[in-house]
Amino acid sequence: MSAKVRIEKTKKGAAWSICMGILTAALGAFLIAYPLVTAKITTVLLGGVLIFVAIAELTFALHSRQPGSFLVRLLSAMLCGIIGVALAFVPIEGVEALTGLLGTLLLVQAGLATVTAFQVRPLAGWPLYLLEATTSFALGLLILVKWPSSSVWAIGTLVGVAVLMGGIVRIVVAAKIQSETRGVEPLPACAANMSNEPPNPQRSVS
């Protein structure tokens, strides 16, 4: 493949990535605008995944030859199945439960980030861990204080922000690649051949 073809393919790939980034960012903005719908969809999808896991665990349990392994897999399948059905078919209550769990996890994450910050305190950049801890603590506390009313916005907004940031990052990276390849011009064929041609010792003799 010639250098010109590679450059053109890189430019086309970057343009396509920018388009996909714009669509992803638009989807993220939509999810943020309608957080409850996003939370319901997320809950139903999670329920479907857990139902699939329950079926897989039940299949493994039926093929297990050890009594202890059979009981563990059977209990795991029942637990995943019950939670999956509850999330998939009763999404409102599922959203509330997931929101409470999310707030708790954020508080735990804040504690872990604080411990990590003081462990690496002599190193440069340790205040970033404190910033992460403060942000996680504030968000988790806000979710739990407003729970269950925070179920309307918490999960949907966080999912939307994650999707929006993913689209923005994709646009920025693709635009940078496109700008770098724009100023690159492939060498002419004769120049490329001359650069690849081994030196002739007779030409150096005057």
- Rounded CA-CA distance 83/79 in Å is 6
In angstroms, the CA 190 to CA 178 distance is 27
Report CA-CA distances (Å) from 99 to 87, 95, 150.
Answer: 12, 6, 7
Share of the chain above pLDDT 90, in %: 0
Kindly tell me if the per-residue pLDDT of 183 is higher than 80: no
Cα 119 to Cα 60: distance, rounded to the nearest angstrom: 43
Say what the pLDDT of residue 205 is.
47
* DSSP 8-class letter at 187: P
User: What are 115's two structure tokens?
Assistant: 């411990």
- pLDDT of residue 67 exceeding 70: no
- Quick one: pLDDT at residue 123? 67
Please give the pLDDT value at position 191.
44
Per-residue pLDDT of 17-32, as tens digits, reads 788 888 888 888 888 8
Whole-model pTM above 0.75? Answer: no
What is the H or E stretch that residue 169 is in?
Answer: helix 154-182
DSSP 25: H
> pLDDT per residue over 75-91, tens digit each?
878 888 887 888 888 87
Report yes or no: 23 and 166 within 8 Å, Cβ to Cβ.
no
Return the pLDDT at 195: 46
Q: Which residues have CB under 8 Å from 161's CB, separation 6+? A: 28, 32
- Round the CA-based radius of gyration of the chain to a whole number and report it: 27
Q: b/e for 14-44, b at 16 or more Cβ within 10 A?
A: beebbeebeebbebbeebbeebbebbbbbbb
Q: Once rounded to an integer, what is the mean pLDDT over residues 144-159?
A: 79
Q: Which residue do the tokens 């942000």 mark?
A: 135
CA distance 28 to 41: 14
What pLDDT shows up at residue 145?
A: 86
User: Which range is least confidently modeled, 71-80, 85-94, 115-124?
Assistant: 115-124
Give residue-wise pLDDT tens across range 42-52: 888 888 888 88
What average pLDDT does range 163-186 have in this prediction?
A: 73
Residue 199 is predicted with a pLDDT of 52
pLDDT band at 187 (very low <50, low <70, confident <90, very high): very low
